Amino acid sequence: MSAHVTFSQAHSEVLVVSLSGHWGKELDPVVQQELEQKLREIDGAIKLEPGNDFSWDSHFPVYLYSCMRNVKNQGCSLDLSAMPVAVRKLLQLANAVPPNTSAQSSEKRPFAPFAGTIKEAYGLLAFLGEMVFATLRLITGRSHMRGVDALTSLSQAGPKAIGIITLISILVGMILAYLGMIQLQQFGAEVYVANLVGLGMVREMGALMTAVIMAGRTGAAWAAELGAMKVNEEVDALTTMGIRPMDFLVMPRLLAMVIMMPLLCIYSFVLGIVGGAAVVLTMNMTPRMYISQLLTAFGPDDIAVGCFKGAVFGLLIVLAGCRSGMECGGSSAAVGQATTRAVVSAIVYIVMADAGMNLLFFHLGI
Amino acid sequence: MSVSSGEEAAIEVRDVNLQYGSRLIQRDLNFTVNRGDVFVIMGGSGCGKSTLLKHMIGLYEPAQGEIFYSGQSYTQADEQQRQTLRSRWGITFQSGALFSDMTLAQNVALPMQYAGVDRAEVDDRVAFKLALVGLAGFEKYYPSEISGGMCKRAGLARAIALDPEILFFDEPSAGLDPLSARRLDELILSLGESTGATVVMVTHELDSIFAIANNSIYLDATLKTWLDSGNPSWLKMHSRHEVVRSFLSRGEAVPDQANLDKGAPGGKEQGKYTTLSKGDSEE
Ligand SMILES: Nc1ncnc2c1ncn2[C@@H]1O[C@H](COP(=O)(O)OP(=O)(O)O)[C@@H](O)[C@H]1O
Ligand SMILES: [Mg+2]
């Protein structure tokens, strides 16, 4: 039997609503409207009663709860004392704790993205400043850094990254060689492919590719590591033991990266040139020509520029990685976000710094 | 408050407000922890117990007010003085906060190395501290190789590495089975007793509270301030606040002292703590 509702106001001012039939999922909208209409009109007490063949399922309490909420807004009360005990218990539970009325704290300011950028830049500078102080402490021998941590970081930043750097450097050397070949063939100037590969690797691509790899590999790993330490309250534990987290956690990594990056860059130069050779020698160029061209292509100052860039990129990777790790929030999801942020911001910093340095070196004539 | 004038104050918290940015967590906190006390910070979850503890150990600056240690203000102290004060504390964190890439022995040895303890002495002291917390023979284990309860005990060993005057614990027994929790609490109590250290701890294990605490404070999440402080067994019976009595009685109905005395319908009050009224069983 489908749901049905009848109203009676026999005695006193209590409206008796009698529900009959099955009150469940597919409630007749007409009945529903009829009932809601009545509830809206009445502002006295309302008593619900089970009528003929009254039955219900789990949809009924949901419906009743929403009715009660509407009724409460008008200030009249719904009497359920005649309803089945299970319905009553459920609704009693639902109404046991009054709904939260305090507003959720959402600070929406008109210039939020703008302020966010400024705050970000400020945070970055503050962290950089702390790194400078930590470095000064390291130089003056007052640092809390442990040598063993520096060694661990060195091995994380160096030997363990060799494999992927080998692969990428050879491929980038080959890419440069093909690129040069296609262009320079038009002028019959294939010999200069060696110059392009050599200079391209040494001044630009070697340091850049190494930095991108290290950001994705080591920078991300460090961000996750520090983030997990933060979540696990290990950073707090350090502070309370009187050990500066900056010295203990960030400095070994900075030291490792700044030492390792130039070395990895030199390694990358060499392999890039080997990769270029692999392409060039299959075309009509002798090893002798390739080498003699290379020797004229770049000098020690170019190598120095490449290594310097590598060291700067290393610093930026540590800055991005350690900062997002140390500022990681308190949840495990925050560690994942910190890792992502570390990689993305490291790459942004690296490319920006590269552009800036190229501009600088161009005007300085280096 | 149950501050008797003869005792010496180890920690005094005066008019302290706790805030994260502009968000107020607790305000107007005022209490004293006497030397040798076992002091418990109680309150519902999320009311700011950990926050209070973190302010007391100097991880955050109170937004307002001052905290004194043995009469010296930590809030006003410079970094050098703070360092000296801090060196007298031992702190454990909710998860143990052991360094995962160090063995237990290295973890316990770390504060000793930074405090300039003789190298020759460190090993013996580490072994002793680990033995005190029942972890003898686990020196070479890594935190990932031992259970959560053992991690907490190792954290305790690290906290007492430098024989602190004040021990801070944040929910030391949370997440442990009842037996381990009980043992850890007893361990803390006997360590506190035998070293004469003052103990400040956050916990809601009532068994531990009654077993080990002689002073306490109750923080309320809705009023954002403390409701009562004193000996927990006394508070259970005599607190001015029903919430405090109810908290200390596991949320069971507590007869309202005032109402009982007046002969007012105290029975009515009891209904508050049972979700379902009796009438329901009729049908
Ligand atoms: N670092 C933080 N920044 C902002 N709010 C926080 C931070 N830590 C905790 N809170 C908030 O402060 C309140 C008290 O937290 P907490 O002190 O951890 O409570 P508990 O009494 O359970 O230990 C909670 O509402 C929590 O969300
Ligand atoms: Mg807590």
Instruction: State the average pLDDT over residues B121-132.
Output: 89
Share of chain A above pLDDT 90, in %: 46
Q: Which residues in chain A touch residue B87, judged by CB atoms under 8 angstroms apart?
A: 242
Residue B159 Cα, gap to closest chain A Cα (Å): 9
Q: Do A267 and A310 fall within a single domain? A: yes
For chain B, what's the residue count? Answer: 283
Q: Which ligand is nearest to the CA of B94?
A: 2
From atom 18 of ligand 1, which residue's Cα is the shortest distance away? Answer: B50
Q: Which ligand is nearest to the CA of B54?
A: 1
Residue A26 Cα, gap to closest chain B Cα (Å): 28
Q: What is the pLDDT of residues B189-244, one digit of tens each?
A: 788 778 888 999 888 778 778 877 889 999 988 888 898 888 888 888 888 888 88
B280 closest CB neighbour out of A85, A237, A240: A85
Which residue's entry shows tokens 């009023």?
B223
> How many Cβ atoms are within 10 Å of A54's Cβ, its own excluded?
19
B93 closest CB neighbour out of A89, A93, A236: A236
The tokens for B63 are 């937004």
Residue A122 within a domain: yes
**Beta strands across the sheet bearing B9-20:** B23-34, B9-20, B64-69, B72-73
Q: Do A126 and A67 fall within a single domain? A: no
Last residue of a domain, one of A99, A127, A142: A99
Per the model's pLDDT, the better-predicted residue between A107 and A312 turns out to be A312
Burial of A335 (0-12, 13-18, 19+ CB in 10 A): buried
For chain A, how many structural domains are there in total? 2
Query: What per-residue confidence (pLDDT) applies to A11?
Result: 66
- Identify the domain containing residue A32 by its residue range: 4-99
Coil, strand or helix at B133: coil
- Mean pLDDT for chain A? 88
Name the residue in chain B with its Cα closest to that of A104. B23
Residue B47 corresponds to which amino acid? C
Q: What is the pLDDT of residues B1-49, one digit of tens each?
A: 444 444 688 999 999 999 988 888 998 999 999 998 889 999 888 889 9
| Residue A197: pLDDT over 50 | yes
Q: Do A188 and A53 fall within a single domain? A: no
A241 closest CB neighbour out of B95, B114, B276: B114
For the residues of B167-188, what is the DSSP string, one character each?
EEEESTTTTS-HHHHHHHHHHH
CA atoms within 13 A on the CB side of A282: 9
For the residues of B264-281, what is the DSSP string, one character each?
--HHHHHGGG-SS-GGGG
Q: What is the pLDDT of residues B36-61, one digit of tens each?
A: 888 999 988 888 998 999 999 988 99
Residues B103, B106, B108, B110, Cα dihedral to 10°: -140
**Beta strands across the sheet bearing A15-20:** A4-8, A15-20, A46-50, A78-79
CATH number for A34: 3.30.750.24
CA-closest candidate to residue A56, choices A94, A93, A19: A19
Q: Give the H/E segment covering residue B65.
A: strand B64-69
Strand partners, B90: B167
Instruction: State the average pLDDT over residues A309-327.
Output: 94
Q: Do A81 and A230 fall within a single domain? A: no
For ligand 1, whether the C-beta of B219 sits within 6 Å is no
Residue A21 within a domain: yes
Query: What per-residue confidence (pLDDT) applies to A106?
Result: 59
ipTM: 0.75
Q: How do beta strands B215-220 and B225-230 pair?
A: antiparallel
Q: Which atom of ligand 1 is nearest to the CA of B171?
A: 23
| Residue A159: pLDDT over 50 | yes
Q: How do beta strands B215-220 and B64-69 pair?
A: unpaired
Q: Which atom of ligand 1 is nearest to the CA of B202?
A: 23
